[in-house]
Copies of this chain bind each other. A is one copy, B any other.
Amino acid sequence: MTSVSAGARQQDDASSSARRRRGTGSYDERRDRLADSALVTLGSLGYARTSLREIAANSEFTHGVIHYYFRDKTELITYCVRYYKATCVKRYDGVIRDSTTAEELVQAFADKLVETISTEAPMHRLWYDLRTQSMFDEALREDVLFIDATLETMIWRVLERYAALTGRPVRLPSSTAYAMLDGVFERALLRHVCGDARALQDLHATVLGALPLLLADA
């Protein structure tokens, strides 16, 4: 995994005052703002349909600047992916921290899953898009597998807390539990994006019903 902040051109000191003459913020901050714009565009159009000109048009820059901050399109995309990961890894930490009973945790977890689809559906379909593209494009695999592993441990932390609160151990390995819940989540997202009004409430009910099955019998 190469450094995230490896720029397109040589960059001796990102925080040097000489770098702040145009635009606002540091070199890295403007990279991140470009990544922000790119993620919005990617989430709206999908990976394949998003061009660098479109990303630039939805940002404060012009299309030529992208190659000043990123070597090529692939570097921009992978930077965006890693940048995005940082925002979603801690999504359920609050659920784990604030729940004091098993029922509370299950409810909060289901609530959070629903909320994250209703407020960030474009970002999530982008993630599934990139994960699927990684099956065709080797350049994406390293990042995708890393993020997938991160999500798996995130889910596992929820389940471990759930197991601790019930006193019953999880009876599935981490990878299986994650794959199952991810399948449920992906399907709910698809239905939601397709305009199915009941997708979210069904997701909520499904999670309430399915989580207990992941634990061993009392």
Contacts and interface: CB of A to CB of B under 8 A. Distances in A.
A206 B172 CA distance: 9
A15 interface: no
Contacts of A214: 213
Contacts of A194: 134-135, 141, 145
Interface in A174-195: 175-176, 178-184, 186-190, 193-194
A186 B183 contact: yes
20 contacts: A46-B133, A46-B135, A46-B137, A48-B133, A49-B136, A125-B135, A125-B136, A128-B135, A129-B135, A134-B194, A135-B190, A135-B194, A141-B194, A148-B190, A173-B206, A176-B206, A176-B209, A179-B206, A183-B183, A217-B217
Nearest to A180: B180
A187 B183 CA distance: 9
Contacts of A128: 132, 135
A202 interface: yes
A120 to B, nearest CB: 13
Contact of A213 (B171, B186, B206): B171
Classify the secondary structure of A's interface with B.
helix
A131 interface: yes
A83 interface: no
Interface string A118-143: 00000001001101111111000100
B132 A172 contact: no
Interface residues of A, number: 45
B136 A46 contact: yes
B210 A172 contact: yes
Given A125-B136, A129-B136, A171-B213, A184 B190 contact: no
Contact of A134 (B133, B175, B190): B190
Interface in A45-80: 45-49
A179 B172 contact: no
A183 B181 CA distance: 7
A213 B172 contact: yes
A47 B132 CA distance: 11
